[in-house]
Structures are given as C-alpha cells and as structure tokens.
Amino acid sequence: MQQTLSRIPEFIGHHFLLVAAFIVILLALIGLEVSRRFRGYRELTPAALVQMINRGSPLVIDLSAIANYEKAHIPGSRHVAPSQFDPENKDLAKAKDLPVVTVCRNGVESGKAARRLVKAGFTHVYTLGGGINAWKQADLPLAKGRN
C-alpha cells in the first residue's frame, strides 16, 4: 500500500492530462448532483408516476404540442400549451399543496415548467423523466384525443 501511494505523484506527472480530465469530470458530476438535490422538484420514473397516480390524484400537466397530445397522452392528464403555462393562474394556484407532475414529449419543457412552479411556491412538484417517450418505452397505457 505504501509503495502504491508513493507512486501517485509519479503517475500524475506522467499522465497530467488524464488526471486533469478525471478531476474536471468528477467536479462536473458532483455539481450536477448538488444542483439536482436543491432544484426544488424531483424527477419520476414512469413506474413511480404510476404509483403516485394509484395512491392519490396528482395533477398531471402535459406540455406537449396539441397535435402530439391528441396522438398520445397519459390518461387523466391535462393539456396546457407551453406558451400559455402560467403558475400564477387562479385555477392552477388552487393546487399549490397538491402533487403536480409536468410532462412533455422528452422531458425538456417539463423541467422548465417545474422550475416555474417551484418559484411560484408550489410544494410538491415532479417531472416525468424522459417524458411521454419514457412512458411509451415502459409499455404503459396512453389515451388519444382531447380527453
């Protein structure tokens, strides 16, 4: 063990770029995890969302384009266009203490909406990781049409 530890400076000297790249990647991963812990909302898997739906009645907001929503959406979800999403809306403000799950096609728009909900004071905010695409890959049921 002593011999291995004494060779670390020699390794660093011979492989400086490799060690620097490792440190940068390690710091980036730590930063990502810290930001994930303190962002104010959690990312759910499709299975976790199914459990949440079965246990209670979360408000599931689908931020997909209306054409995509009509093709396939999570049963019971409500469609809201991203351009019209307003956390200060009086109907949405009634759900401040209820679980609210934001969903979109791939998870990008739903993350933006979740951040806005947290800033507006919502306490139980979630996103569906991977969006409807992850829901489809998990072979879970989808509804069609506007309802």
The answer on 50 and 116 residing in a single domain is yes
pLDDT, residue 53, reads 92
Same domain, 62 and 122: yes
Residue 144 lies in a domain: no
26: containing domain: 2-37
**Residues 47 and 16 placed together within one structural domain of the fold:** no
Element (H, E) at 37: helix 16-37
Residues 122 and 55 placed together within one structural domain of the fold: yes
Q: What is the tally of structural domains in the chain?
A: 2
Question: Percentage helix, strand, coil, to 5, in the chain?
Answer: 50, 15, 35
CA 100 to centroid of chain Cα atoms: 12
What's the pLDDT at 5? 84
Q: What is the pLDDT of residue 48?
A: 95
Q: What is the pLDDT along the chain (147 residues), one digit of tens a residue?
A: 778 888 888 998 999 999 999 999 999 999 888 877 777 899 999 999 999 999 988 999 999 999 999 999 999 999 998 888 888 888 787 888 889 999 998 878 898 899 999 998 898 999 999 999 999 999 999 998 876
